[in-house]
Structure 1
Amino acid sequence: MKVVLFCGGMGTRMREFSETIPKPLVNVGHRPIIWHLMRHFAHFGHTDFILCLGYKGEMIREYFLNYNPMLSEDCRLEKGVPKLMSGGTDVRDWNIDFVDTGLTRNIGQRLVAARHLLRDEEVFLANYSDQLCDIDLDRYVATANAQNKIASFVSVRPPGSYHSVTTDADGTVNYIGPWADSELWINGGYMVLRQAIFDHIEPGDELVEAPFQRLIAKKQLYSHRHEGFWKAMDTYKDKLAFDEDYEKGRRPWEIWNLG
């Protein structure tokens, strides 16, 4: 099953990095966040990727085309010959299509621009390339397929220390509490899409706006609730939180290391 990764945005909320590199290349530990995401998909056998490029897309191409595992994996130099110490596999076993989808296109139009590479895929996966999760993709995909909807996505509890508030019409508060204790769920970005999705995207459409509203009207949109780990890298603060978790060994998304 092919995986479409949207990695062409300008990352305006990550200007500390995005002025020099595209957000998908911002490191979590020793590797870009997009590598961690792709490694998650690959763990479940999904190793055919389509990268929808845009802003600084040439840097993403360069990273994968010149990929050197010796720079990020444990290795040994034996009489001048570098050898990996682990038997793990990653980029060397993946298939990657690089597609220039333009600087200003939105997600829906980037997907349409990659349609020609999906014509043989009745069902395919898609993701925003800026979040990590510990979801069991086998179970999620099986559940989504059983629903037989045109589109499915993972919904998650929004992390963070903000509080959810509900009020009466006059502003009287009747509830305030952590987001995690409320009924608020957000789009977690892991999507399972069928070919029919293209019949619901019109020129200029953003994927989760008009197209998803059309699917809702036809009862063709399914959301799978995931209560495990999920975290997005939207801001510099998120980047620092990822770094802290990584250095302290809190890496729940690395399910490929669970044995």
Structure 2
Amino acid sequence: MRIRDAENLPKPLVHIGHRPLLWHVMKYYAHFGHKDFVLCLGYRADAIKNYFLNYNECVSNDFVLSGGGKTLEMMSRDIDDWRITFADTGISSNIGQRLKAAQKYLEGEEVFLANYSDGLTDLPLPQQLDHFRMHDKVASFLCVRPNLSYHVVSMQGPMVSDIRPIDNGDLRINGGYFIFKKDIFKYMRDKEELVEEPFRRLARERQLLGYSYDGYWASMDTLKDKQQLETLYATGAAPWEIWKTARKNRDASQQLEDVR
């Protein structure tokens, strides 16, 4: 409700540039080779389904049109190697209930990734996965500094003893990028929110990892957040578009080899 564009859309379908936020998140995972997705749908599930059912590759890829528009040749593709499961998990379900409803689609998966789909980052995902495997715990989540313009105030009685930007300190928040073993479901009870009771149980048993990251991370919660992401996207160098950075680096390396 805090984003005007989302008045009649689920927030993950709000566009950043030519594609919705959800696409940017999925593109991030696909860049690292994770292309089997389960979308836990709730409000306006039909809109998300229809977006992918009517997906237009031409919007974000180069192509050649010939024969008076009769022949279309794609120079690159986005989602032809993605597998997407569309799972209705209830309009009023909380995050925990949505994850629990998707459990049946995770058969055979010892470890899986989960995401709120409302934040973008340039986090090197393999590093978080290596950290998770090294510590061998049930759950891990990204811990980031809040991208808020508020100030933290310290007081002694009625007197202010310190005031500083909220991102200038040790405070960290849940960044919404998760890694779970399938054992996560043993810690969940009916109708519980994911990061409330289940995470507290994990913490008590020392099974919950926090992965601190100080690189780029931003959530899209307000119209101002959307505008900031749009501005970054318009520069052609949005920090979260690591697939573009990787492609440019490959092209540069190839050019260097050609010169040699």
1:103-122 per-position Cα deviation (integer Å, ceiling 9, x unaligned): 00000000010101112111
Q: 1:171 to 1:196 in 2, by over 3 A?
A: farther
Q: How does 1:198-237 map to 2 (within 5 A)?
A: 198-237=185-224
What is residue 158 of structure 1 aligned with on the other side?
146
- Give me the whole-angstrom Cα distance separating, in 1, the residues matched to 2:98 and 2:158: 41
Q: 1:84 to 1:208 in 2, by over 3 A?
A: same
**TM-superposed deviation, 1:237:** 1.2
- Give me the whole-angstrom Cα distance separating, in 2, the residues matched to 1:174 and 1:84: 62
Contact 1:164 1:182 survives alignment (8 Å): no
Larger Rg over CA atoms: 2
Contact 2:146 2:173 survives alignment (8 Å): yes
Contact 1:152 1:192 survives alignment (8 Å): yes
**TM-superposed deviation, 1:251:** 0.3
What is residue 13 of structure 1 aligned with on the other side?
2
> In percent, how many aligned pairs have the same letter?
47
Residue 189, structure 1, aligned to residue 179, structure 2: no
SS in 1 for 2:167: helix
Q: When the two structures are aligned, how many residues end up with a matched partner?
A: 244
What is residue 254 of structure 1 aligned with on the other side?
241
105-114 or 174-183, which deviates more? 174-183
**TM-superposed deviation, 1:254:** 0.7
Match of 2:122 among 122, 134, 143: 134
- Give me the whole-angstrom Cα distance separating, in 1, the residues matched to 2:94 and 2:48: 18
- Give me the whole-angstrom Cα distance separating, in 2, the residues matched to 1:54 and 1:45: 26
100-109 or 249-258, which deviates more? 249-258
CA RMSD of aligned residues (A): 1.3
Contact 2:142 2:176 survives alignment (8 Å): yes
Structure 2 portions without partners, runs of 5+: 250-260
1:150-209 per-position Cα deviation (integer Å, ceiling 9, x unaligned): 1100000111322122233x2433321122211110000100011111111111100001
Contact 1:47 1:95 survives alignment (8 Å): yes
1:33-78 per-position Cα deviation (integer Å, ceiling 9, x unaligned): 1111101100110000000001001111111122111133232312
Structure 1 portions without partners, runs of 5+: 1-11
- Give me the whole-angstrom Cα distance separating, in 1, the residues matched to 2:154 and 2:78: 46
What is residue 63 of structure 2 aligned with on the other side?
75
- Give me the whole-angstrom Cα distance separating, in 1, the residues matched to 2:90 and 2:120: 25
- Give me the whole-angstrom Cα distance separating, in 1, the residues matched to 2:162 and 2:126: 37
Contact 1:70 1:82 survives alignment (8 Å): no
Residue 143, structure 1, aligned to residue 136, structure 2: no
Q: How does 1:25-174 map to 2 (within 5 A)?
A: 25-79=13-67, 80=69, 81-85=71-75, 87=76, 89-168=77-156, 170-174=157-161
